[in-house]
Amino acid sequence: MADKHLSSLDELFDAIAKLEIDEGVRVNGRVAGRKCYMFVTKSSNGYTIAVFEVGHNSTGVGKQLMIEDSVSLERVKRFIKENCETPLKAFRY
């Protein structure tokens, strides 16, 4: 499946709630004052939030800033609302 642009928080949160184990979302944002990518994936234990600094290398992904494992959907929503860029830049992969 090709990356799908998600244009609103409602669309993003609906996509996260419906994630399969082999899918995820990427959201552009700022954490601790740093421009970053927030990745959300789903496992049998809940959701994982992984945050990476925007890199200046060939992949565009830099240093890992944080990771939270086995979190609830409500925690994911709160984290994204607090840290996402405006306008929203989010993709399902």
Residue 64's contacts (CB-CB under 8 Å, 6 or more residues apart) are 50, 51, 52, 53
What's the pLDDT score for residue 83? 98
Q: Residue range 40-59: average pLDDT?
A: 91
Residues listed for the chain: 93
pTM: 0.91
Confidence of residue 84 (pLDDT cuts 50, 70, 90): very high
What's the pLDDT score for residue 1? 58
Confidence of residue 22 (pLDDT cuts 50, 70, 90): confident
Choose among 52, 56, 61, 60: nearest CA to 34: 52
- The average confidence (pLDDT) of the chain is 94
Choose among 10, 93, 73, 79: nearest CA to 38: 79
Q: With a cut of 90, say whether residue 55 has pLDDT above it.
A: no
